[in-house]
Chain A
Amino acid sequence: METKLRAVLPDHELVKLYEQMVIGREFEEACAEQYTKGHITGFLHLYSGQEAVAVGATAGLHKDDYILSAYREHAQAIVRGAEPKRVMAELFGKATGLCKGKGGSMHLFAPELSFMGGYAIVGGQLPVACGLAFSAKYRQEDRITACFFGDGAVNQGTFHESLNWARLWELPVLFVCENNFYGIGTEVHRSSALPTVHKRTCGYDIPSEKVDGMDVVAVFKAVKYAAEKVRESGRPYFIEATTYRFRGHSMADPAKYRSAAEHEIWKSRDPIPAFARRLLDEGIAAEEELEAIRKRCTATVQDAVTFAEESPWPEDRQIWEDIYV
């Protein structure tokens, strides 16, 4: 028996989770279109399919807990509160973007939201997360650090070094592995000797658990529990959220290495319609309300695209700015 949603969160917060997943998806699908039009260039890694992880996890954290992620992070930033139009402008390379057009899709950053960045070197964010957690601990701040990374990152030295370090220094880090079963075209069992990612933490004496990353409420509950553990104990905790990306690794990847059957199974578990059904079944929201949310999200994303289109390019002199303080 699934827990009833109302036992977990009040109605308006449940509906908000839905809205956040919808905006995450709408945003990504708009990005795909803008990439095809040539407005977004470079690498573009979309999050479609994985929304329940960012949305559930962010809801389970405090607002000022630090969040770090990899390069598939648009939804992470938006769910944390970044304005979709400033994210879109960044992707367009415009001066109004979150990072003035200098970062691009893979490098969003919003310190006022404690969103401490998207990083494009696989595994690069894990030591940085430990450092942020150390600073928070040292300054006696009541904030933990949530660090997101993929299944591909777990074979980097920094993964092992960071887990060991976090446990050794008793750092309040919540490691969240978004296991979408592929690192580009390599399936997890072809890159990891022990493909059940969460079991790897035993070497570092870090408690861990696996959660269904297609179920936003399950992720929320797991992260909330884990975050409390981290806060109480001052020690790291590890969550593996199993999920799936509906698109290729990036826009350049047709994802031929996955079977249509596999794709279909995961599509049938799409976290957004699945959650909508539960909201309806349990009488938390009516279809009209959900439809209104979808319309609102589409409009927000459309506004974001217009804003990005109309925004100015960075000026040439900005090349030399923001390098040294």
Chain B
Amino acid sequence: MSELTYRDALNLALKEEMRRDPSVVVFGEDVALYEGSFKVTRGLLAEFGEERVKDTPISENTIVGVAVGAAMGGLRPVAELMTVNFALLAMDQIVNHMAKVRSMFGGQTHLPMVVRMPGGGGSQLGAQHSQSLESYFMHCPGLRIAYPATPADAKGLLKTAIRDPNPVIFLEHELLYNSKGEVPDDPEFLVPFGKANVVREGSDVTVVAYARMTVLALQAATELAKEGISCEVIDLRTLNPLDVETFVASVRKTGRAVVVEECWRTAGLGGDLAHRIHEACFDTLRAPVRRVAGLDVPMPYSREIEKLCIPRVETIAAAVRDVLAASV
């Protein structure tokens, strides 16, 4: 084990996979010479050279499209979009190509590719740079989606993503890059897709979260424990495949659930998770599932109001108290 930041854990995953497999190539805006705008690709150009680590023009749709073609041709591209917001310019290649190619061509080809992108709000970057678009990707069949909460998962999930034969949207949270944690040194350490992590056991309420929302949910659980409320916190790790079994089993045990998502509430992924819980746990639920989500507004810049638009420890804790109060 070594203590690493989320950023360095991702960096290590890239390096290990590039050492292991010469078909892994990395490209994106400012990833090579500048070493990434969030420095996740630091040292890659120096170690692997410009044939394998390449800067691209500011052409997001084509970045993803080139990755699709390269994957079809037998490489394992790991493309970086500078932030998730710019994935909106690449939605054609992501949704119409990356997600479709395999099934549309009757399973005759597959795309072992990863598109990495940092996202999330909370840094006063304004409406065009603060979005959480995980629900957009989750809505589209054909994509795998990973979104790590810890440095260890960052490493293990990215390595799995690179080895996975399917196209993977790999989300990274901008506010987690500096977070630290123990990370296994083993170059064969992998975190499997579709296995949610019960990060805290509890008996009163299940809190389902992912990425930074998991971090906040754990803090809320610590606060609530002081009030004698016991939360079970589940980190989904991957949004596709979605480990329904794990959170359903937890809710069957606790009888109550709060679902936390950073994206906008309306048509957000939390609605889908809540529905799955209602369907599977109707007989044992003691209260309707609560949702904590981003407010349905374009993100304002001003920090004093921006913070109100994103789930917080307080809003998660309040939802847990609410669900307990509403219990039959």
Residues of B within 8 A of A183 (CB): 29, 58
A residues at B contact (CB < 8 Å): 41-43, 90, 93-94, 101-107, 119-124, 152-153, 155-157, 183-186, 190-192, 257, 313-314, 316, 318-320, 323
Interface: B30 (CB within 8 A) = yes
In the A-B complex, the 4 residue pairs with the smallest Cβ-Cβ separation, listed nearest first, are A104-B301, A93-B302, A185-B34, A155-B57
Cβ B305 vs Cβ A101 within 8 A: yes
Which stretch in B120-128, B150-158, B177-185, B230-238 binds the other chain? B120-128
A186 with B125: CB separation less than 8 A: no
- Interface residues in B1-55 (C-beta closer than 8 Å to A): 29-30, 33-34, 37, 55
Q: Given the complex of chains A and B, what is the CA–CA distance between A319 and B310 in angstroms?
A: 12
Contact B308 A314 (CB under 8 A): no
CB <8 Å contact, A119 and B30: no
Nearest to A252 among chain B residues (CB) is B37
Query: How many angstroms between the C-alpha atoms of A87 and B173 in the bound complex?
Result: 30
The residues of B with any CB-CB pair to A shorter than 8 Å are: 29-30, 33-34, 37, 55-59, 61, 85-86, 88-89, 123-129, 295, 297-298, 300-305, 308-309
Nearest A residue to B57 via CB reads A155
The residue in A94, A101, A119, A257 that gathers the most chain B C-beta atoms within 10 A of its C-beta is A101
A186–B33 CA distance with the chains assembled, in angstroms: 8
Alpha-carbon distance between A181 and B128 when the two chains are bound, in angstroms: 25
A156 touching B89, Cβ below 8 Å: yes
* Bound Cα distance from A124 to B295, whole angstroms: 25
Give the residue of A90, A153, A313 whose beta carbon is less than 8 angstroms from that of B304: A313
Q: Is the CB of A119 within 8 A of B128?
A: yes
User: What's the Cα separation between A152 and B34 when bound, in Å?
Assistant: 15
Report the Cα distance A189→B309, complex, angstroms. Answer: 41
Kindly name the residue among A119, A121, A153 whose own CB sees the greatest number of chain B CB atoms within 10 A.
A121
CB distance from A37 to the nearest CB of B (A): 14
A94 cross-chain contacts in B, Cβ below 8 A = 302
List the B side residues contacting A156 at CB < 8 Å. 58-59, 89
**A120 and B129 contacting across the interface, CB-CB below 8 Å:** yes
* Residue contact B300 to A101, C-beta cutoff 8 Å: yes
Q: Contact at A257–B34, with CB atoms within 8 Å? A: yes
Contact of B126 among A42, A152, A323 (CB under 8 A): A42
B-side interface mostly: loop
Q: Which residues of A contact B34 (CB under 8 A)?
A: 184-186, 257
Closest to A317 in B: B305
Compute how far the CA of A162 lies from the CA of B297 in the bound complex, rounded to whole angstroms.
29
The reply to whether B33 and A157 form a contact with Cβ atoms under 8 Å apart is no
Complex Cα gap A93–B34 (Å): 30
* Residue of chain B at shortest CB distance from A106: B126
Pick from A93, A120, A186: contact of B124, CB under 8 Å: A93
Question: Contacts A184-B29, A323-B298 known; A155 to B58 CB distance under 8 Å?
Answer: yes
> Cβ of A120 and Cβ of B128 under 8 Å apart?
yes
CA distance A316 to B123 in the complex (A): 18
> Is A42 touching B304 in the complex (CB atoms < 8 A)?
no
Docked CA distance A104–B123 (Å): 12
Q: Is the CB–CB distance between B89 and A121 below 8 Å?
A: yes
**Docked-complex contact A41 and B124, CB < 8 angstroms:** yes
Are A319's CB and B128's CB within 8 A?
no
Complex Cα spacing A94 to B56, Å: 37
Give every chain A residue within 8 A of B89 (Cβ-Cβ): 121, 156-157
B82–chain A nearest beta-carbon distance, Å = 8
Minimum distance in angstroms from B88 CB to a CB of chain A: 8
- B126–A186 contact, CB under 8 A? no
Q: Is B128 touching A314 in the complex (CB atoms < 8 A)? A: no
Cross-chain pairs A/B with CB under 8 angstroms, 8 sampled: A42-B129, A90-B301, A93-B124, A121-B85, A121-B86, A155-B57, A184-B30, A313-B305
Q: Is the CB of A191 within 8 A of B128?
A: no
- Please give, as numbers and ranges, the residues of chain A lying within 8 Å of B57 by CB-CB distance: 152, 155, 191-192
For A185, the chain B residues whose CB sits under 8 A away are 30, 33-34
Shortest beta-carbon distance, A298 to chain B, in Å? 27
The 8 Å CB contact of B301, one of A93, A191, A320, is A93
User: Using Cβ atoms and an 8 Å threshold, which residues of chain A touch B37?
Assistant: 184
State which of B123, B127, B309 has its C-beta within 8 Å of the C-beta of A319: B309
Residue of B nearest to A95 (CB): B302
Docked CA distance A184–B58 (Å): 10
6 more CB-based (< 8 A) A-B contacts, given A94-B302, A101-B300, A184-B29? A93-B303, A121-B88, A121-B128, A123-B58, A155-B59, A191-B58
Q: A184-B34, A319-B309 are in contact. Are A313 and B58 (CB under 8 A)?
A: no
Q: Which residues of A lie under 8 Å from residue B298 when comparing CB positions?
A: 323
A191 and B55: CB pair below 8 A?
yes
Residue pair B124, A122 in contact (C-beta under 8 Å): no
Q: Hey, which chain B residues are within 8 Å of A123, CB to CB?
A: 58
For B56, B61, B300, B308, the residue with the greatest tally of chain A CB atoms inside 10 Å of its CB is B300
